[in-house]
Structures are given as C-alpha cells and as structure tokens.
C-alpha cells in the first residue's frame, strides 16, 4: 500500500498551488500592510497571560481525560495560578468538543481570578474570544429536550450563584444533579449524560465569557494561527499571506467587527451582540511570526499603537514571553498521561497490544 501512496505523491507534486507569480503582491499589500518600527512602551504596567490544555487516553470502555489551565502574572515578579482535573468520559463522537469546553472553563476561571486577585492592567489570551462567541453553541450533539425546556432565568441564576461561591473546577455537574436535569440514571445511557454535559458546559462557559468581558478594556487576544481571509480575500488565510509576503516589523490596517448576527446565545444575547472587536495583524520583530491581535472593544489607533508597544516590552523572538511560558507549562504530554494513570492506578487494557501480534 505504501508504494502506491508514494506513487500518488509523485504524481501530485505541487497540487497545493502557490499564488501566481503574475499576481501584483505590492498592490495587494498597499494600504493594508505598513512596515514600521514597533518600539517599546515606557509605561509601568502589570500584565498576565493564560492558556489551557487537555489530553485523553482511549480504553475499551471509557476515556481517561486530563484538563488544565494556568495564568502567569508579571507585576515586577512572576506569579502563577492554575486549575485542573481528571475525568473518565464515555466514548462519544463529540469528545474533543466536550474537552475543549472544559478547558475553556478552566482558562476563563483562571483569568477571572487573575483580574480580581491581582488587578492586572492587561491579560493576554491565547486564541480568539470573538471566535469563541461565534461558535458558542455546541455542534457535536443535539440539545436534550428536557434541558432545552429548563434553559431559563432560574437556571442562569443558579449558575451565577454557584459560580460566585466556587472559583475552581466545573460547576455544571452539581447543577445537573441537584436540579435533576438528566432524564435517565447515569448507568442507563452514558451518551445521554455527555450530551447534557456538553450543553451545560457551554452555558457555564458563556456565563464566564460575559464575566471576563466586564474587564474588556484590559483583554488582549493573540493568535499565531487563524483561518480568516477577510483582509485579502485570497483562498489562504490572511496570516499566511502576510507571513509569506512580508518580512519586516509592521502591522496591518485596523478592522472592527461584531459577532455574527445569527450567532445563538441562550443568555446575554443583547450584551454579546453589542460588542465591537478591534482586529489587526502585527509582526513584532523582523522575520518572525505574524500575530493576529484582537481587542474586545472599539479601540482607537492611538490605543492600538500603545497596546502593541506594551506587548513588545515582554516579547522574545517576536512573541509574548508570558503566553509562551503559559503554553509550555500547561501542555499535557503522553508521558504525563502515563504518569497520571499510574498514580490513579488505572490499568485497563486499550486493546492495542493486538496490533503487534
């Protein structure tokens, strides 16, 4: 089989098409990208960054999963806060979406604690809050009818009450059980339980997103990857276009964007739809990565320039040091999973040993 794949690879050399050499790149970049020295802010400020991670190990009857998040604070010295847990989760088609929601909850709770306990001037997220809002509703599983009937103000009030008390971990399992939202006993239909968990986790995440956005003038979202192509309208992402055809320090024009009009929110719809996001791309150092930056408010040019200079103060090799450190700290490797399973005394077979027969 491998030989036939090699032959197909030879036959299809170059099938990922490059942008035509006849394309006038300079005209594409004109008025959209500007080479400019970034500089560094001379202001005194505190800043933090956070990231999350998850990993899973598949067994015959279940999945062993680990999820965690960390925030790193710099206010003259480095400080950290974190939150994490391990779970066993049934075999469901939407497992990654479920774990991604869990991870987002841990990230947001760490960020909120950082804002409240350390009162930092700026907090950097890895990723896109606008992207989270535009995909806030689960896609992997249909909402159970009983849960849909209970998505009301009383459920919202119960979430907010418990979240105000408990700053760590997941709150929705307590609400699910105390309000008897699940139609069947857990042993009768494991998949049904996970459907409830997916949608309830999304509700918890949406509530936390609203809470963190109360601090929106201090939030900076930064991405090294993005699929958006609204700036250049090519069939490749804008970030890839800029990476290929620019090399110097600089930035793009500043765009403003709102959440999709038809994006569904079970709660706080008017609040989320009223938000305006400021979006631009920047390279902090010659020949280094292009970064997509997103601010969850309508920022002026002067505010954007000052934000860039502040990000640049603690950047190494063109990327914010705190974000890079948070990412490296939270990664849950395969080796970590083996160690966790050993400590938790989990020895169930994965059935993969038959592959070596």
Q: What is the pLDDT of residues 34-65, one digit of tens each?
A: 999 999 999 999 999 999 999 999 998 899 99
Cα–Cα distances in Å, from 348 out to 63, 89, 110, 194?
10, 14, 33, 21
Q: What Rg do the C-alpha atoms of the chain give, in angstroms?
A: 23
What's the pLDDT tens digit per position in 133-184? 988 888 877 888 888 888 888 989 999 999 999 899 999 999 998 888 876 5
Specify the length of the chain in residues.
357
Q: In this predicted model, what pLDDT tens digit does every residue of 298-341 receive, in sequence order?
A: 999 999 999 999 999 999 999 999 999 999 999 999 999 999 99
- Maximum pairwise Cα distance, the chain: 66
Q: Residue 354: which pLDDT band, with cuts at 50, 70 and 90?
A: very low
The whole-number pLDDT of residue 279 equals 97
Among residues 99, 141, 108, the alpha carbon closest in space to that of 127 is found at: 108
Name the nearest CA neighbour of 292 among 258, 262, 320, 325.
320
Q: Does residue 294 have a pLDDT over 60?
A: yes
pLDDT at 186 over 60: no
Q: What per-residue confidence (pLDDT) applies to 355? A: 36
Minimum mean pLDDT range among 21-35, 94-108, 250-264, 274-288 = 21-35
What distance in Å separates the CA atoms of residue 234 and residue 241, rounded to the nearest whole number?
8
Residue 243 pLDDT greater than 80, yes or no: yes
Residue 294, in any domain of the structure: yes
Distance of CA 345 to the CA centre of its chain: 31
pLDDT value at position 260? 86
Residue 2 lies in a domain: no
Q: What is the mean pLDDT of residues 90-95?
A: 92
Which pLDDT does position 161 carry in this prediction?
94
Query: Tokens 């020949």 identify what position?
Result: 287
| 58 occurs within a structural domain | yes
* Cα 139 from Cα 98, distance rounded (Å): 10
What's the rounded mean pLDDT across residues 220-248?
92
SS3 label, residue 68: strand
Query: Which tokens hold the place of 101?
Result: 């929601």
- Which residue range(s) make up the domain with 230? 33-356
For the ranges 2-6, 279-283, 339-343, the lowest mean pLDDT is seen at: 2-6
- The total of structural domains in the chain comes to 1
Nearest to 251 by CA among 321, 309, 323, 314: 309
Query: Tell me, what DSSP letter sits at residue 356?
Result: G
Q: Judge whether 4 lies within some domain.
A: no
C-alpha span between 291 and 286 (Å, rounded) = 13
Residue 58, H or E segment: strand 47-58
Mean pLDDT lowest among 65-74, 79-88, 133-142, 210-219: 133-142
* 8 domain-assigned: no
Question: How would residue 357 be classed by pLDDT, with cut points 50, 70 and 90?
Answer: very low
Residue 159 lies in a domain: yes
Nearest Cα neighbor of 62 from 106, 95, 98, 25 is 95
Between strands 47-58 and 122-126, the pairing is parallel
How large is the average pLDDT for residues 182-187? 60
Residue with the larger pLDDT of the pair 256 and 147: 256
Cβ–Cβ < 8 Å for 103, 199? no
Instruction: Tell me whether residue 114 is in a domain.
Output: yes
pLDDT of 187 reads 52
Residues of the chain above pLDDT 90, percent: 69
pLDDT for the residue numbered 349: 60
Burial code (b: 16+ CB inside 10 Å, e: under 16) for 183-201 equals eeeeeeeeebbbbbbbbbb
């Amino acid at each position: 089989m491998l030989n036939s794949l090699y032959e197909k690879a030879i036959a299809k050399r170059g099938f990922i098409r490059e942008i035509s050499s006849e394309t006038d790149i300079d005209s594409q970049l004109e008025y959209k990208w500007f080479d400019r020295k970034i500089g560094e802010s001379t202001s005194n400020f505190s800043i933090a960054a956070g990231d999350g991670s998850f990993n899973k190990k598949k067994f015959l009857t279940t999945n062993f999963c680990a999820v965690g998040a960390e925030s790193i604070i710099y206010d003259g010295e480095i400080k950290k806060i974190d939150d994490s847990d391990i779970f066993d989760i049934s075999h469901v088609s939407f497992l990654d979406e479920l774990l991604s929601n869990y991870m987002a909850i841990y990230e947001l709770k760490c960020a909120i604690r950082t804002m409240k306990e350390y009162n930092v001037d700026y907090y950097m997220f890895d990723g896109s809050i606008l992207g989270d809002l535009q995909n806030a509703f689960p896609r992997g599983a249909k909402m159970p009818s009983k849960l849909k009937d209970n998505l009301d103000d009383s459920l919202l009030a119960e979430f907010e009450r418990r979240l105000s008390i408990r700053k760590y971990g997941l709150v929705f399992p307590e609400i699910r059980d105390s309000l008897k939202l699940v139609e069947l006993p857990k042993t009768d239909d494991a998949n049904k339980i996970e459907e409830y968990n997916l949608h309830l986790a999304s509700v918890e995440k949406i509530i936390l997103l609203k809470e963190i956005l109360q601090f929106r003038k201090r939030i900076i979202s930064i991405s090294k990857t993005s699929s958006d192509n609204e700036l250049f309208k090519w069939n490749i992402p804008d970030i890839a276009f800029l990476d290929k055809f620019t090399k110097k320090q600089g930035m793009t024009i500043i765009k403003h964007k709102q959440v999709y009009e038809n994006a569904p929110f079970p709660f706080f719809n008017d609040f989320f739809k009223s938000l305006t996001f400021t979006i631009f791309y920047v390279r902090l150092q010659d020949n280094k990565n292009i970064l997509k930056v997103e601010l969850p408010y309508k920022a002026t040019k002067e505010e954007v320039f000052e934000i860039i200079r502040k990000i640049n103060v603690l950047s190494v090799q063109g990327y914010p040091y705190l974000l890079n450190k948070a990412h490296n700290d939270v990664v849950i490797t395969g080796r970590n999973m083996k160690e966790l399973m050993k400590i938790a005394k989990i020895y169930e077979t994965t059935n993969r040993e038959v592959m070596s027969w």
